[in-house]
Structure 1
Amino acid sequence: MDARWRRSLGLTRVRVVSSTLPMRMSPRRLRTTAATTMTRRMTARLRNSGLPAMPLGSPKQASGRINAARGLAGGVAFFSSIFACCALAVEPQSVSKLLEKADAIKTADYAEFASILTSLKADASRLSPAQRRHLRYLEGWQSAYNGDYTSALPALTSIANEPGDLPLQFRARAAAANVLAVSTQYEGAFVELGKMIEMLPDVADGAAREQGLAVAAYLYNQVGEYDLGLDYARMLEQENWNGRGACRGAQLKLEALYKSAKLRTVGQEFQSGLDACAESGEVLYANVIRTFMARLHIDQKRFDDAIKMLNDHYEELRQTRYSRLISEFDSLLAVAYRETGNAELVRKYAQRAIDNGARGQYTEPLVTAYRLLYVLAKEQADARAALVYHEQYAAADKGYLDDVTARQLAYQRVNHATVADKLRIDTLHKENEVLQLQRALDKKAVETSGLYITLLIIVLLSIALWAYRTKRSQLHFMRLSQVDGLTGIANRPRFIELAESALEAGTKSTQEVCVVLCDLDHFKSINDKHGHAAGDFVLKQTVAACQLHLRGSDVFGRFGGEEFGIVLPGCNLHDARLRAEQLRLAIAAISSSYDGVELTVSASFGVASTASSSYELRQLLADADAALYRAKHAGR
């Protein structure tokens, strides 16, 4: 999921902003904050007068009426600006209203939010302690929004630990968890999430609950706990504080459903989510929903639909200045244009995706952009550019995968630490009971001697049980970190570890050792034509077929994607080639009927031996890789 998005990850609004503007019309700021406030007050008075309200009607009619309203607002702006400079002095209560307004519009109209914050900072000395605390929270949120996590995190953490205002504490902790996640400090993020969830039952403030539920749903989506993410997203929809939870909840729910492969087509649930976001004026979350729609369009080969939808909303998204989501739009446009054969637009949007990406972070749009630029350069026979882009693509892909792995491990570590802490607390409670009973034993030595022994045994058993469970959990997590989750064989780090052990043993015994690399031919086309589920099926079938022909002493692991590695101790080059041919025939004989479609599977192999490549694993892998690509070029 993230990887694990400053605004959409829980840096969420906590006050409602009422707007009936259509989604394609971003609200424009009036000349001054005072003018905006006066216009809204006039509107409120008109509504309270009992006169019938005028519906906006269609987007075109709404546009005309909104422009008329802007004309009226512009007419009063001059007179309003005369009193704006002294508004705080005349109406002290307006400070709280400005804080609430800034809080409410920070994702819907960031420009006005920043303007209000600037004016409040200039007059910070006149604010009450509670108002200054609220202002500090908004400043921390703004720093996080602008990517300044170093400044944001201390400010938010400080407020989260200050007693007195439980809703603000809760919101600051939720924002801190979000900042830790987007700055790849995942372990800290899940620690804060655990504290936040413990506080949730005591928080009654609707805005704070909305923010906390959104952060919880987002973080669980990021680590693949889609059922938990879905639960919190639905809670957010059901509570629907001031009509805003329907939009944010729908976005997080659709994210969980899409990433868990439970959505295959663009259905009514997407339109319902967009309608909810339109009602609350949430351009940002509406466009997050559109990224999932675009991906489904692309999966269904409806490239023109994806391009039209993304282009129609590109400008309104650009106005939000949220670079992470803009980069996502650029990346999806580049993919869609690639499928339609428009190389120039592929290059344009791929480069934009890189330029708009977060500096120093590896994201999926960045990986996609470098891959497309590499493919274009390769097709145009620009070897130098292709090499540069391929290196950048490889680095970005590795960084992104490392980030996903770090996110998962952090979640598991925090879960494990939580269980261990609870067991320690239980043990301490039991030990305390033992101490209390020991005082009573001094008075009743005869009666308590048997009880003392019994209790001591209970404590020892509890400690032993705790130690056993802890050790079992550690072994379980260690096994998970060494095994490829899809195929059940060794992952790349574990394979390298086992291969080096086999080579070390071969060096001592002067046995010849061979390394075989296997790469499935045209695997990408299987994914593209039949989906990743079909690709996963082929990978599992391939592993099962190969295991039938491997010895117990052979090392078998998945390098990543469709590439596998095999180490054959005590096997010379001739025998290794025969073994590789057996494996190739076994893979070719796989009956890969998936979902009623026959999938043709073949593989290419590269073999290297210590007799010609030494006992250095890096050299063996390089020689085997070279042999593999010679085999591919010679005919798959």
Structure 2
Amino acid sequence: MDGPLTMRSGFRTWLLWAALWVPVAMAARAASPSVTDLFAQAESIRSAEPARFSALVDALQRRKQEMEPRQREQLEYLEAYRLAFSGNYDAVIPRLKALAASAKDDDIRFRANALLVNLYTKSRRFAESLRQLGNVLPQMDRVSDPQLKVHALVEAAYLHNEIGQYGLGLQYAERILSEHSDSRARCFAEYLKYDAMMNLATMPADMAPLDDAIDHCTAGGERLLANHIRVIVARAMAAKHKRAEAIALLRTHLAEVESFRYPYLAVLVKATLAELLFERGDLKAAETYASEAIALSGAVGTSTQSLVGAYRTMYRIAERRRDTETALVYYRRFAEADKAYLNEVKARELAYQIVRQETFEKSEQIQRLGSQNQLLQLQRKLESKSVQNTRLVVVLLTMLLASIGYWAYRTKRTQMMFKRLAQTDALTGIGNRSHFSIQSERLLAQCARNEQEVALVMFDLDHFKTINDRYGHAAGDQVLVRVAELCRGLDYRNAVVGRLGGEEFALLLPGMSLAQAVEAAEDCRQRVTRIDTSGTGHRFLVTASFGVTTTALAGYQLARLFSLADRMLYRSKHDGRNQVSAYEGGYSLPERRTVPASGETARRETQEQES
């Protein structure tokens, strides 16, 4: 009796449990959001709330079995977007390329290709980014979703701003603003617009439009871009000597910036804060923010303008504290970061020119193929016609050959232009670092065979950053041009002249002893101090610090000559600037060989400083 009763009792208990819990489970199931709802939520916050977006992608991944093929493609795109936001571009680019190739849905394929433009730009692969953009923009007419068209135009504006083509970036941003009115689209467009205007020095005098842009970003949920615009506002405030307001603005939102875990923005904000605080005299806070920006820059992966600024601030802080050793360390790092950044800027310009040339050549090839195709069709028609038509074929062939010759001539001219661009410094017209090194290696090899002594003179303009800050970059550029003209005007036979980067120049002088090279450097130093700056609209003194060595002491290896001349240049910098120091042998830094300024030059320096 106990057995059957026990079994019946257990069965009733199970029925009771089922009656109580099955409806609860069904209700919970019914209350959970649908896959479509989850996708809508994830799409609306993907760049505004990274943590919540990542959680939604995980939730979608767990429900992958419920999805249609298009939804699975959409999930693949969102997973790639999440991985891209973390900065792992090398891992995500192959996934996006595979998705763009395999996706059946036109919109998903378009989104994958547009995101590839962004990632190529962020990973500094500008030539590939421009080629990818050239494939994306023609596809806009086949896309049904207006927001995807905004996406493509945003990527076009962002890319052109990054490669320094701010005029084109501004045009794409203005196009978005004229065609779309929702807050999110206006947020992206206004950020890109004011970024381009800041670099073109055409910022509006009234800050109200930038405040409106921040409001649009906040309304659209784009807090990250709102903080990008705040950095632009802070820099505009600083330019108007409102540093206290600029510092307060950035500090108020610093915690929010750090919560994004987006290294690029964090480095930008902290480097800007460090520079502003240094100008206000708060060295301790400036040092803290600059150090944090440098520590975070490793996650960015390339030398940025923010990193250059952080190193410059650290160098200036050490110099202000009279800590010469630390100042020298950070000055070297600043110089290295600045050169790396300038090289990247040059690479961006070259990538733009290369892709323009590729586009031109493709267009030319299409025209040639079209002409050849037309000619073949005409030839088939003319085979059965009279001698008059045969003459017409001859005329067409002549025109085709003339056209091919013309385009070949144009292509050759373009190739020569690129060769000049690769060898010449765009601002000053003298040889760039690469061309100077190649010419110097050849000259050193020839002089080594002939046992002829060669001298290397390197010099760096003093306080050039102050000239740029006080009188403007246009004035600084004019000074660099005048120094280059001065170098070209020096009457030294077979001399090699070059701009090494920034405000640093070099002269390789064959047939000169150390004493002669020091005399030549001193002559050059005095010429620099006599540069007339009135053409800039300001009068100020230009000076330079020189370092000199020769093959008699350093041998004929260019790297060794560079190293010793550079050490002497730094000796001149730290011994008071505006002087010449020569390397005279030995394993340690030698006593500097300084040629004093002439009485006339000294009087002029005093007058310039007093004015």
Q: Same fold per TM (> 0.5)?
A: yes
Distance across 2 between alignment mates of 1:482 and 1:114: 48
Q: Quick check: 1:112 aligned with 2:52?
A: yes
Distance across 1 between alignment mates of 2:477 and 2:289: 30
Distance across 2 between alignment mates of 1:219 and 1:404: 13
Q: Quick check: 1:553 aligned with 2:553?
A: no
Q: 1:242 and 1:261, CA in 2 relative to 1: closer, same or farther beyond 3 A?
A: closer
Counterpart of 1:430? Answer: 371
Query: SS state of the match for residue 494, structure 2?
Result: coil
Query: SS state of the match for residue 443, structure 1?
Result: coil
Distance across 2 between alignment mates of 1:563 and 1:390: 14
Amino acid of the structure 1 residue aligned with 2:352: Y
Distance across 1 between alignment mates of 2:334 and 2:304: 11
What do you get for the CA RMSD once the two structures are aligned?
2.8
Q: Quick check: 1:101 aligned with 2:54?
A: no
Gaps of 5+ in 2: 1-23, 579-611
Q: What's the offset of the Cα at 1:262? A: 2.1
Residues 247 and 277 in structure 1, CA contact (< 8 A), matched pair in contact too: yes
Q: Quick check: 1:608 aligned with 2:549?
A: yes
Amino acid of the structure 1 residue aligned with 2:479: V
Q: Quick check: 1:222 aligned with 2:176?
A: no
Q: 1:521 and 1:185, CA in 2 relative to 1: closer, same or farther beyond 3 A?
A: closer
The more displaced of 147-156 and 544-553 is 544-553
The more displaced of 443-452 and 165-174 is 443-452
Counterpart of 2:284? Answer: 344
Distance across 2 between alignment mates of 1:379 and 1:243: 46
Q: What's the offset of the Cα at 1:490? A: 1.0
Structure 2 counterparts to residues 198-597 of structure 1, below 5 A: 198-263=138-203, 267-357=207-297, 358=299, 360-376=301-317, 389=330, 392-444=333-385, 446-551=387-492, 553-593=494-534, 596-597=537-538
Q: 1:592 and 1:104, CA in 2 relative to 1: closer, same or farther beyond 3 A?
A: same
Q: What's the offset of the Cα at 1:392? A: 4.9
Q: What's the offset of the Cα at 1:583? A: 2.1
Distance across 1 between alignment mates of 2:475 and 2:252: 33
Q: What's the offset of the Cα at 1:163? A: 6.1
Counterpart of 1:62? Answer: none
Give the number of the structure whose alpha-carbon radius of gyration is greater.
2
Amino acid of the structure 2 residue aligned with 1:451: L
Counterpart of 1:4? Answer: none
Distance across 1 between alignment mates of 2:163 and 2:346: 9
Matched positions, count: 554
**Deviations 1:336-363 (CA, angstroms, capped at 9, x unpaired):** 2222333332232123213333253332
Distance across 2 between alignment mates of 1:378 and 1:82: 71
Within the candidate set 111, 122, 137, 1:171 is matched to 111
Q: What's the offset of the Cα at 1:266? A: 6.4
Q: 1:351 and 1:581, CA in 2 relative to 1: closer, same or farther beyond 3 A?
A: closer
Distance across 2 between alignment mates of 1:151 and 1:252: 27
Residues 238 and 246 in structure 1, CA contact (< 8 A), matched pair in contact too: no
Distance across 2 between alignment mates of 1:168 and 1:517: 56
Query: SS state of the match for residue 164, structure 2?
Result: coil
Residues 546 and 587 in structure 1, CA contact (< 8 A), matched pair in contact too: no
Q: What's the offset of the Cα at 1:249? A: 1.1
Q: 1:626 and 1:356, CA in 2 relative to 1: closer, same or farther beyond 3 A?
A: closer
Query: SS state of the match for residue 244, structure 1?
Result: helix
Counterpart of 2:135? Answer: 195
Distance across 2 between alignment mates of 1:575 and 1:390: 30
Query: SS state of the match for residue 114, structure 2?
Result: helix
Matched-pair identity in %: 38
Query: SS state of the match for residue 182, structure 2?
Result: helix
Q: 1:529 and 1:200, CA in 2 relative to 1: closer, same or farther beyond 3 A?
A: same
Q: 1:537 and 1:101, CA in 2 relative to 1: closer, same or farther beyond 3 A?
A: same
Query: SS state of the match for residue 519, structure 1?
Result: strand
Q: 1:336 and 1:160, CA in 2 relative to 1: closer, same or farther beyond 3 A?
A: same
Residues 375 and 396 in structure 2, CA contact (< 8 A), matched pair in contact too: yes
Q: Quick check: 1:618 aligned with 2:559?
A: yes
Q: What's the offset of the Cα at 1:486? A: 1.6
Distance across 2 between alignment mates of 1:223 and 1:271: 27
TM-score between both structures, scaled by the size of structure 2: 0.83
Within the candidate set 137, 144, 147, 2:87 is matched to 147
**Deviations 1:513-533 (CA, angstroms, capped at 9, x unpaired):** 322222222222222322323
The more displaced of 392-401 and 297-306 is 392-401
Q: What's the offset of the Cα at 1:180? A: 1.3
Q: 1:232 and 1:179, CA in 2 relative to 1: closer, same or farther beyond 3 A?
A: same
Amino acid of the structure 1 residue aligned with 2:112: A
TM-score between both structures, scaled by the size of structure 1: 0.80
Q: What's the offset of the Cα at 1:254? A: 0.4
Gaps of 5+ in 1: 1-79
Residues 264 and 300 in structure 2, CA contact (< 8 A), matched pair in contact too: no
Within the candidate set 147, 155, 159, 2:99 is matched to 159
Amino acid of the structure 2 residue aligned with 1:104: S
Residues 318 and 326 in structure 2, CA contact (< 8 A), matched pair in contact too: yes
Q: 1:301 and 1:517, CA in 2 relative to 1: closer, same or farther beyond 3 A?
A: same
Q: What's the offset of the Cα at 1:598? A: 1.2
Distance across 1 between alignment mates of 2:408 and 2:337: 41
Query: SS state of the match for residue 497, structure 2?
Result: strand
Q: 1:263 and 1:537, CA in 2 relative to 1: closer, same or farther beyond 3 A?
A: farther
Q: What's the offset of the Cα at 1:252? A: 0.4
Distance across 2 between alignment mates of 1:520 and 1:427: 52
Q: 1:356 and 1:628, CA in 2 relative to 1: closer, same or farther beyond 3 A?
A: closer
